[in-house]
Amino acid sequence: MRKFLSYLLLLSSLTMFASACSSSGDSNIGSSESEEYLPIQLRADAGRNEITLEWKMLPAADTYNIYYLEDDGSNEQPNSAKMKSDGNKIEGIISAPYPVTGLQNGTTYWFALSAKAEGEDESDLTKTIYSTPQDNPPLPAPENVRANAGDGEATITWDAVPYANGYKVYYYTSFTNYGESDKINNNFYTFTGLNNGQEYIFWVAALDGDDNSTTGDSSASFIYAAQPSIHPPPVAPTNLAIINNNNGNIIVEWDTMSDATAYNIYIAKAKGVTKLTGAVTNIPDPDTSPQQGSGTILTNGTYYIVVTSLNNNGESAESREVSIPITDNP
């Protein structure tokens, strides 16, 4: 319960970030509910002499900047002005993840992120978060967390974490309505008995083999929101694969869903593409393997892609994200 309560404290900022991002898909890059902080999910995973920063992309961002600062012994969260004046800055990062290396094990560091669109000023910073490199670092947080809504339930899926001894899945609607699964060994879990029409926020943590301590467990994954409904949307596509068809063309394939009447492909050049941030292509025929790129040839670079299912009840969660480098079309 101690670690779960720490996750709830995390949610006071994460929920604000998520709600602000979901309502500002076409807004200015620096806009937020706060005048000071950039609304974006940011995570810092501890490693050996390094910290790996992960974040969710913003639709208007071309690059990102990382600021980091060694704790001065006060354990007090530095504000944006201090991070900019005293911190180290890494500029021009295209996509997460990004490892900040050369750090001292056992020393706490503070991190913040800004975003930049071409020709515009740098955005506000995110709120600062901290992490401590270790000789024996904890597990990394699970990736590709998704929540597929059902009737009075939601099924959460995620990528397996190497060396994890199990997982816990959590949900949250308010500080008086939250819950968690038992320790499980699969990389999927269904919460039942949920209220239709209520939005739930879900996240996952990977557990090590020591049930008496949380020091080796991962930090919280990125959050994912879903709303159970008596008429839920279809389930997200599975087994997504991309084939490079040469000269900037790619073919995207997946297992068709029995209740889907159409699909959307979302593509971006930064990791963490979502329904809000990717360029969309609609595929109205679910029985045809679609080709993405024939209309817009992809230039060289790495592309990240998710697919969703659609029917009259709405649009599914995103599939797990896959990526492909294009190297044959300058």
Number of separate domains in the chain: 3
Residue from 20, 8, 22, 125 nearest 66 by CA: 125
- Residue 295 in any domain: the answer is yes
- Which amino acid makes up residue 288? T
Return the CATH number at 222.
Answer: 2.60.40.10
Bridge partners of 273, per DSSP, are: none
- Residue 311 in any domain: the answer is yes
Same domain, 98 and 33: yes
Extended beta strands in 3-157, E state: 42-46, 50-55, 63-70, 88-93, 98-101, 109-116, 129-131, 146-149, 154-157
How would you classify the pairing of strands 154-157 and 166-174? unpaired
Residue from 201, 21, 189, 13 nearest 112 by CA: 13
| pTM for this entry | 0.82
Q: Do residues 66 and 89 touch, judged by C-beta distance below 8 A? A: yes
Q: Do residues 268 and 304 touch, judged by C-beta distance below 8 A? A: yes
Give the span between the Cα atoms of 184 and 164, in whole angstroms: 11
- Residue 3 in any domain: the answer is no
Q: What would the two tokens of residue 295 be?
A: 């209309």
- Residue 136 in any domain: the answer is no
Q: What would the two tokens of residue 181 be?
A: 């699964």
Same domain, 173 and 206: yes
- Residue 233 in any domain: the answer is no
Same domain, 213 and 271: no
* Last residue within a domain, chosen from 156, 191, 226: 226
Same domain, 221 and 257: no
Same domain, 26 and 119: yes
The rounded Cα 109 to chain-centroid distance in angstroms is 22
Same domain, 184 and 245: no
- Residue 4 in any domain: the answer is no
Q: What would the two tokens of residue 3 be?
A: 């670690």
Same domain, 106 and 150: no
> What are the backbone dihedrals phi and psi of residue 228, each rounded to the nearest 5 degrees, phi first?
-55, 150
- Residue 141 in any domain: the answer is no
* Last residue within a domain, chosen from 131, 157, 187: 131
Same domain, 96 and 156: no
Q: What is the pLDDT along the chain (330 residues), one digit of tens a residue?
A: 333 333 333 443 333 333 333 333 333 454 444 447 888 889 999 999 999 999 988 888 999 999 999 999 988 999 999 999 999 999 999 999 999 999 999 999 999 999 999 999 999 999 999 999 999 999 999 999 999 999 999 999 999 999 999 999 999 998 788 899 999 999 999 999 999 999 999 999 999 988 777 788 999 999 999 999 999 999 999 999 888 877 888 888 888 888 999 999 999 888 999 999 888 888 886 665 554 444 457 888 899 999 999 999 999 999 999 999 988 876
* Last residue within a domain, chosen from 131, 158, 173: 131
Same domain, 200 and 250: no
Q: What per-residue string of b and e applies to 184-209 under the rule 16 or more CB within 10 Å gives b?
A: eeebebebeebeeeeebbbbbbbbbe
Range(s) of the domain holding residue 288: 238-326
- Residue 199 in any domain: the answer is yes
Q: How many residues does the chain have?
A: 330
The rounded Cα 326 to chain-centroid distance in angstroms is 23
Give the span between the Cα atoms of 42 and 45, in whole angstroms: 10
Same domain, 221 and 125: no
Same domain, 33 and 85: yes
Q: What would the two tokens of residue 14 be?
A: 């994460």
Q: Which residues contact 274 (CB under 8 A, 6 or more apart)?
A: 56, 57, 266, 306, 318
Same domain, 221 and 193: yes
> What are the backbone dihedrals phi and psi of residue 95, each rounded to the nearest 5 degrees, phi first?
-155, 155
